[in-house]
Structure 1
Amino acid sequence: MASSILIKVTCLAMICLIFDIPLANAGQTCGQIKGSLLPCLGYLRNPGPIAPVVCCNGVWTVNDQAKTLPERKDACECIKSTLISIPGLDPNAVQGLPNKCGVKLPFPIGANMDCNKLGDGMH
């Protein structure tokens, strides 16, 4: 069973690398964002009382590297499209992940978020 999960994670990582399309004005590509957040996949499918440290490190990395409003909007669009494309994610775990990792966001995270309404108060 562990090898099955490893194969799935490896395949997902390869897909992320293949579709690594740079975002306009972004400090990080969508592929880099996906790579940072990949360790969160298991938690977002089957959440526990705490998010894994490696997952939170990825959340912090994405948040810290999205400094400008255009970078935040690009990161938001990447996260939104990724959330839409991965089946089986727990919407409550997705929405609560930033808080579980100690990242305060002024907007809810989810597949229905409106990235055009982001403000400068993301950090």
Structure 2
Amino acid sequence: MAHVEIDLHTHTTASDGTHTPAELVARAARRGVRVLGIADHDTLDGIAGAQAAGRELGVEIVPGVEFSTRHERAKHFVGIHLLGYFINPAHPALLEMMGKIKQGRLEQKSAKSKNCNHLGLTSR
């Protein structure tokens, strides 16, 4: 059986990673990784760029997503991250759900900004 370097849990700048999808694939290729999973937090935005770079560099991209969920236990919430691999990033139901998540995050950021402004804190 041949040895193949695989990394299935990576993030791009589409969520909390430090490299663009193309940069991440290039770094992986230089390190001998031949199968790379892109599993950004609650977004599919890094997959297409990674797939394009993967085709050029001979790295197979496993499309994925890391869903942020919460489980209510007693008097507090427990954060749970659920990884989904080999997803279809063009699936209508998945795209609809990702749109709702993105909208919810925008609304949350807007509310936080209003709270800061109310306290006299501003951003530049």
TM-score bin, normalised by smaller chain: under 0.3
| Structure with greater proportional helix content | 1
| Structure with greater proportional strand content | 2
Choose between structure 1 and 2 for higher RCO, CA contacts under 8 A separated by at least 6 residues: 1
What is the TM-score normalised by the length of structure 1?
A: 0.24
